[in-house]
Amino acid sequence: AAAAGDVMFLDNLGPTGAPDGYSCEVRLPADVRPGEPCDAEVWGYEVPPLDVFALGVCLFILAWRIPPWGLALRSDGTFQYIQAYGIQQLLTTWRLPLLSAEAMALLTDMMAANPQRRPSAEDCLASEWLRPLAEAQVPVHAVEDDVVDPAVAAIARMEIAADRRMVNWGDTWADDLRTAVREIAGTGYRITDAHGQQRIERAGQPGELEEVPLPSAFPLCVSVN
């Protein structure tokens, strides 16, 4: 149970008193009582957990060439899905290959919504996945060398697999879906949601869905059959 002085990770409340999709850390006051409202001090974020979270997202993009979500907010369907079911379940739904068990465990911890649950940078380096690289020699290129890391170049171009396109929730999702369908044009394709359910298009209107999906159904996946 929480006690006075504890730091808690809670939903942020908007002007109406309802959660606005953001979260924040607060420290409980000395006079806090169970079951009673109180005014808690905003604790803010520490930098190291933020860096670990950002590195986790970068590793996700390097591994699967697609962002894990549109926005790291509870209002984002994919972000909410990951917090509820985990990264591994999302990748399974997207029909993407998994990394090793050690890599998946580390990535899951690094991308935890609650910063208190993320490992430190030292813990990451000591993980089962990265430990074998502890003594590895990393090549260093001179500043003037015209060397581009292929992985960095891929991220810069936001390359995605040729056999699938992902569509995240947002104001432009409908246009993005039509674009994704056009890019897969000429092949048999299917549109599935974040739960693996196939979405049906209107007859003769590629990329136009019969039913507008809820935010929790995103991301949508356009994939080659």
Q: From CA 93, how far away is CA 197, in angstroms rounded?
A: 9
For residue 155, the model assigns a pLDDT of 44
Report d(CA 221, CA 180) in Å as an integer: 9
Q: Are 35 and 1 in contact (CB under 8 A)?
A: no
Q: How many whole angstroms separate alpha carbon 224 and alpha carbon 22?
A: 36
The tokens of 197 are what? 């359910």
pLDDT of residue 29: 86
Report d(CA 93, CA 80) in Å as an integer. Answer: 15
Q: What is the pLDDT of residues 120-163, one digit of tens each?
A: 999 998 999 988 887 777 777 665 555 555 555 544 444 445 57
Compute how many other C-beta atoms are within 10 angstroms of the C-beta atom of residue 87. 20
DSSP three-state, residue 211? coil
